[in-house]
Homo-oligomer: A and B are copies of this chain.
Amino acid sequence: MNKFFEPEKVALIGATRTPGFGYGIPGFWKRHGWLEKAYLVNPKGGEIEGKAVLRSISELPDGIDLAVLMVPAKAVKGAIKELGEKGVKALVIESAGFAETGAEGKREQEEISKIACQFGMRLLGPNCVGVVNTELKFATIEIMDQALEKGEVGIIAQSGVFGNILLDHLPALGIRVSKVATLGNKIDLDEADFLEYFAQDPKIKVILLYEEGIQDGRRLIAALKYATEKKPVLVLKSGRTEFGKRATLSHTGSLSGEDLIYDGAFRQAGAIRASNLQELLYLAKAFTSQPSLKGKRIGVLTTSGSMGAMLSDALFEMGFELAEWSVGTLEKIKQVAPGWVNLKNPLDVGPSGIFGKALDALFSDPNPDGFVLIPVIPFAAIEPWRAIGFKMRDFFGEISKLRERVPDKPVITVLLGYEQLEKEMEELCGNAITVVHSPEMAVRVLAGLSAQKRLAD
């Protein structure tokens, strides 16, 4: 497996000068220092990014760790044979046009599988975009430089385009990845292999698994059990319904099983299932920075009564409790709050300006198991203050410093409003608070962190 993520020599079979799928890989490799360790192959020869292009696989030197295939589907079989003869043991097949297109493609795929087996090769794909390792700034597909920043999330995604889109989207959410594997039709290596590998990787703190169809359920569940004993595994599975099943069948050539069965199996294996992509991503963010949630009692501090009410509804619906503030806490709040502030949970301090002082008091309260903060504020109401030099911390306190007082409790912040203010508030919250953008998502993240607690028990 190391040959996929940490190759010494890598070959790109089907390197092209024509804009199209894979066109940007040589330039991407050059930018990140990989072109010098790479060999490009294309029957037309010539030069790409200043690097000589070999005309055939036979011209490759010995000792290629990883070959990336971008050739048309019908040329894959021949290429694999040649690579096998060269002694290449690890292969990423990005070419599409196999089982996902019907019976003929399926046959072709099976033949490829046999040939690879004869040579003792391990295959990733076909119909995928291979791997990413941010540590070494290595990827078998061009990705954005921002997505190459080192992080602690491991992603296993069945689909190539989707894996890539995900990588584009993560930087904006503040999520950084360690390694990615996209599986495609998974004729050899599958999610179970990568689950085991990522489970052992000390650089990965949380594993995200996007599933479409599962070929070997028993093996997957065993791998999940193994992985979830070491770190949280978040699962998003589509093909939940009849329509979704049909769609995944034509997409990666795999049949989805019955959803309820998977749901139970995932849970038994200790995995946490997200119900949609947004939830998966926010959970990933939370799991890299938050402790588990040890109980059901949530403390809420808000500047908007309405948002507090929406959050209360969501907490109730997901089976949480609103913590009771202790007497000491209420005394502290009374000392700083104007008369119109209600001493309840959610504690709605409105535009009173006592958010920071209230937070100080609430964080000292032993009752809540976790917190949700809703420090929303109208832009125009705060703007005149900012104009005369007030900072966000003057209104809301040093939220990130206060957060250190409750290291064992999750703290989620809900932000809504003007983008620039949201950004400033996110900075004030720091990395140890997970920022979401709806009350419902805050509660879903808490539910995930609560499930993780069960795993830890």
Contacts and interface: CB of A to CB of B under 8 A. Distances in A.
Interface in A231-285: 238-244, 246-248, 250-252, 276-278
Interface stretch (A2-10, A78-86, A164-172, A197-205): A164-172
A243 B315 contact: yes
Contacts of A172: 418-419
A384 B23 contact: yes
A339 B377 CA distance: 54
A21 B381 contact: yes
A416 interface: yes
Contacts of A307: 162, 165
Interface string A15-33: 0000111011001100000
B417 A165 contact: yes
A278 B314 CA distance: 14
A313 B239 contact: yes
A88 interface: no
Interface centre among A101, A246, A378, A418 (most CB of B within 10 A): A378
Interface stretch (A109-117, A344-352, A404-412, A446-454): A344-352
Given A162-B304, A276-B438, A304-B162, A418 B144 contact: yes
B277 A438 contact: yes
A19 B168 contact: no
Given A240-B313, A384-B24, A378 B143 contact: yes
Question: Chain A, interface size: which category?
Answer: 35 or more
Interface stretch (A39-47, A153-161, A214-222): A153-161
A248 B419 CA distance: 27
Interface in A323-340: 338-340
A312 interface: yes
Contacts of A351: 20-21, 161
Nearest to A376: B165
Contacts of A381: 21, 24, 141-142, 164
A23 B348 CA distance: 21
Nearest to A252: B305
Contact of A162 (B21, B306, B385): B306
Interface string A390-428: 100000000000000000000000001111010000000
A457 interface: no
A19 B243 contact: no
Given A100-B340, A168-B417, A158 B378 contact: no
Nearest to A21: B351
A364 interface: no
B248 A142 contact: no
A210 interface: yes
Interface of A: 19-21, 23-24, 27-28, 73, 96-97, 100-101, 105, 141-144, 157-159, 161-162, 164-165, 167-169, 172, 210, 212, 238-244, 246-248, 250-252, 276-278, 303-313, 315-317, 322, 338-340, 342, 344, 346, 348, 350-351, 353, 376-381, 383-385, 388, 390, 416-419, 421, 437-440
27 contacts: A19-B390, A21-B351, A23-B385, A24-B381, A24-B383, A24-B384, A28-B380, A101-B339, A141-B380, A142-B380, A161-B376, A161-B378, A162-B304, A164-B381, A165-B377, A169-B418, A212-B309, A238-B310, A239-B309, A243-B313, A243-B316, A243-B322, A244-B310, A248-B305, A250-B348, A251-B309, A276-B439
Given A20-B351, A101-B340, A276-B438, 6 more contacts: A168-B380, A169-B417, A238-B309, A243-B312, A243-B322, A246-B312
